[in-house]
Structure 1
Amino acid sequence: MGRIIAIANQKGGVGKTTTAINLAASLAEKGKKVLAIDMDPQGNMTSGLGIEKETVNNTVYDLIIGNANLDEVIQIEAIENLDVLPTNIDLSAAEIELIDVPNKEYILKTHIDGVKDNYDYVIIDCPPSLSMLTINAMTTASSVLVPIQCEYYALEGLSQLIHTVELVRDRLNSELEIEGVVFTMFDARTNLSLQVVENVRENLDQNIYDTVIPRNIRLAEAPSYGIPINQYDSSSTGANSYRKLAEEVISRSA
């Protein structure tokens, strides 16, 4: 059965989409069958995996509001071993259109339950807000992975996210758990990054991945070429870091 991981943090600019793209691509590179779902209306995961979000015929928006079925939305083998459910800005309207829809928290889950056994991993990129789209991702997922930027305000808002996960687990998805926290944008040259990591490890009662994602120019460049870091610069520190993260994720599945 496919393991479904939602990548979430309502704080923007923490490397959430970068982590979603490159974790999915690294798992696929290791021979795992992966489905990537873009639930962020910005559509950056979609474009970062080489799909033209403005010209694609059907998106997650069409799936959510019932205008298309899964087969009409899914992009098969966007990258070897990796299928994608793409998104664009249209998805931002879904929140309003779902107001009076019964069981709207489970729309994505209803679609994904039928195909999750076809995949080893399903990676969901959530929007940087605690919205109905995020709730849909969390009712579908079995766990939530939280990227945290190595900066002074790293823990700001994290307690709110953890509280949301707990609420969803209590009321909507009893299987949901915190997959863990992964540090991003780490700069070994600064004391601040080291202090943040140490502070979080001491004070956060959550699973924390050993892998730390560095601040890396090649990671920042890759999305503009529409390819993940393991294809853009396979030997870069960013690519190797996400490979290590993928190995950790796989080892926790065993």
Structure 2
Amino acid sequence: MLTYTPVSEAGGVGKTTTAATLAVSHARNGHDVLAIDMDTQNGSLTYFFGPDYDRGDPEVDNLVRHLVGRPKGDFHDLTHEVEAGVDLVPSHNMLEDLHEFLLSEKQQADRLGESYSMYHQLHRVLRDADVREAYDVVVVDTAGKAGPILYNALVAVRNVVIPFEATAKGQESIEGLDDLVDGLEENIGIDVGVLAVLPIGYRDTRDQREILGELRESGFPVPVVIGERGSLMEGCWRQQCSPYRYIEAHRSRERDYELETLEQFEELAAFLEAEAGLDTPEVSA
């Protein structure tokens, strides 16, 4: 099984777009894919794929209720089938208060003399729902900021993919993420692996070549490098679909560099699948 979360401390590097595109890439490769939206921002996977869902409805069952042990139904009833057969667990506004909810549960457990980890609740929910039996790939999109949401995602998936802007700011974000992961490993006792670093918006300048070289020398895996694709990605958000559907349905003519981008995401998806030991059939037409 392949499980990971795209993570970056720097904003605007395409974290959610990466999560969405890779989820569709895995599904097009014939894998059963679960995407989980744990991003509190409105511009998240839930908006990107656009299922008919009211994230502000306080009565609807949602992931937060399951995380704090108060579900209104079965976990699998939370999912919405979206593009390419990807199953999506949408985000909900209750995520903004997850820290307080989990802290309250921990305080109650402490008073009862029970053990309770605030950061293992997504892991528990996925385990109890037998997600490993139902899916080949789980992709969790989460906030980049340190806290219970990100920690729950990391404990559950144990792997990260890092979208990266080849700038000094991007280097700082990777160093900050390294510190965050090291601290989590030390405090909670788990190992978190970096499956891949994904440079995005690469223009092949001298400075970018130097930064990319330093990144590779540091030992991070860099399977593909994505060029500047602002128009494509903006179009995806506007039409609420992956680059695959956008090019197929909303481009009047095919553009070679955009087709190359799809091939690169397919190559990255295949690399990640191989890392997890998944057989990768040919990409569907």
TM-score normalised per structure 2: 0.79
Q: Distance in 2 between matches of 1:58 and 1:31?
A: 29
Q: Distance in 2 between matches of 1:28 and 1:140?
A: 21
CA offsets 1:191-214 (integer angstroms, 9 cap, x no match): 343332123223x333x2221122
The match for 2:95 among 53, 71, 91 is: 91
The match for 1:210 among 223, 227, 232 is: 223
Give 1:252's aligned residue: 275
Identity among equivalent pairs (%): 20
TM-score normalised per structure 1: 0.88
Q: Are 2:66 and 1:63 equivalent residues in the alignment?
A: yes
What stretches of structure 1 of length at least 5 have no aligned partner? none
Give 2:251's aligned residue: none
Q: Are 2:269 and 1:238 equivalent residues in the alignment?
A: no
Q: Distance in 1 between matches of 2:168 and 2:190?
A: 33
**Structure (1/2) with the larger helix percentage:** 2
Equivalent AA in structure 2 for residue 205 of structure 1: G
The alpha carbon displacement at 1:173 in A equals 5.2
CA offsets 1:38-68 (integer angstroms, 9 cap, x no match): 1111151112123245367443333333343
- Where does structure 1 differ by over 4 angstroms across 4 or more consecutive aligned residues? none
The alpha carbon displacement at 1:20 in A equals 0.6
Matched-pair contact (CA < 8 Å) for 2:10–2:170: no
Alignment of 1:100-249 (within 5 A): 100-102=104-106, 103-113=117-127, 114-172=130-188, 174-188=190-204, 190-202=205-217, 204-206=218-220, 208-216=221-229, 217-234=231-248, 236=258, 237-249=260-272
Q: Distance in 2 between matches of 1:241 and 1:58?
A: 37
Matched-pair contact (CA < 8 Å) for 2:10–2:169: no
The alpha carbon displacement at 1:29 in A equals 0.8
Q: Distance in 1 between matches of 2:147 and 2:193?
A: 18
Equivalent AA in structure 2 for residue 51 of structure 1: P
Higher gyration radius (CA): 2
**Structure (1/2) with the larger strand percentage:** 1
Q: Give the SS at the match of 2:200.
A: strand
What stretches of structure 2 of length at least 5 have no aligned partner? 107-116, 249-253, 278-285
Equivalent AA in structure 2 for residue 27 of structure 1: H
